[in-house]
Amino acid sequence: MTDAENTRSYKLRIWRQPDATSSGRLVDYEISEVGADASFLEMLDQLNENLVKKGEQPVAFESDCREGICGACGVCIDGRPHGPVTHLTTCALRMREFKDGETIVVEPFRANAFPVVKDLIVDRGAFDRVIERGGYISVNAGSAPEANMLAIGKDTAESAMDSAACIGCGACVASCPNASASLFVGAKIRQMALLPQGQVERTGRALAMVQQMDAEGFGDCSNHGECEAACPKAISIENIATLRREYLRAAFRS
């Protein structure tokens, strides 16, 4: 099956916004000869090539690795972050998921904590600032003990890895009706809380990261669980339950 035998046309409605301070609007485009195996971003690449050739401004969108791990890409497609398929990044979404002739609405990951920079690009610096406040174990290079001094149960390591798999794309925030970052923050707190290395700073980490999360203007969580469905790495809202436990625990330890 090659592209030539199986191409489609789409009507696109894309959010265009020249910069952070201007207002934006949805603009209609048409595109044809899109290969079924092309990724959603490759379809946008193709649109941009057409736009440039017509002397128009290409659509700005973010992407990098294009294999679902860097977390750079992400747009809302017909109201769903990363599109209709669960547990997939936008770059891994293929056009075969869309019917020929369909209208597709493409909008940015929307949250006040993620201000739009241009078109479909948003600023997710808030995530970095939350991590800054404690999303790590403080260990200087050179001061680590021999790695196998510390036995960590296979199940514990695997469970920590489930949380550590977060790619920081922000789909959890975008999908959340409240624009909450609880899944992102919970995943990091849980990873560290599970591991013996994370115990020393456990209390302060939970308190500081939650404080920063709130300061960034993310909304509160109402347990809709939409984030878990939108998360490309299927990170469970168990992490949010852990976040609450860890925060409560900190109440008694701080």
CB of 36 to another protein, least distance (A): 8
CB of 231 to another protein, least distance (A): 10
The residue whose two tokens read 């959010």 is 15
Q: How many whole angstroms from its chain centre is CA 170?
A: 3
For 62, phi and psi rounded to 5 degrees? -100, 140
The residue whose two tokens read 């436990």 is 245
Close Cβ partners of 43 (under 8 Å, ≥ 6 residues apart): 10, 31, 34, 95
Between residues 29 and 247, which has the closer beta carbon with respect to another protein?
247
Between residues 65 and 101, which has the closer beta carbon with respect to another protein?
65
CB of 83 to another protein, least distance (A): 9
Task: Say which DSSP state 57 is in.
Answer: P
The residue whose two tokens read 């003990």 is 145
d(CA 78, CA 13) in angstroms, rounded, equals 9
The three-class DSSP label of residue 190 is helix
CB of 143 to another protein, least distance (A): 8
Between residues 10 and 246, which has the closer beta carbon with respect to another protein?
246
CB of 101 to another protein, least distance (A): 18
Between residues 22 and 101, which has the closer beta carbon with respect to another protein?
22
CB of 193 to another protein, least distance (A): 10
Using a 10 angstrom Cβ sphere, with 0-12 exposed, 13-18 middle and 19 or more buried, the burial of residue 165 is middle
Tokens standing for residue 254: 């701080």
Between residues 64 and 100, which has the closer beta carbon with respect to another protein?
64
Between residues 79 and 101, which has the closer beta carbon with respect to another protein?
79
Q: Are 165 and 159 within 8 A, CB to CB? A: no
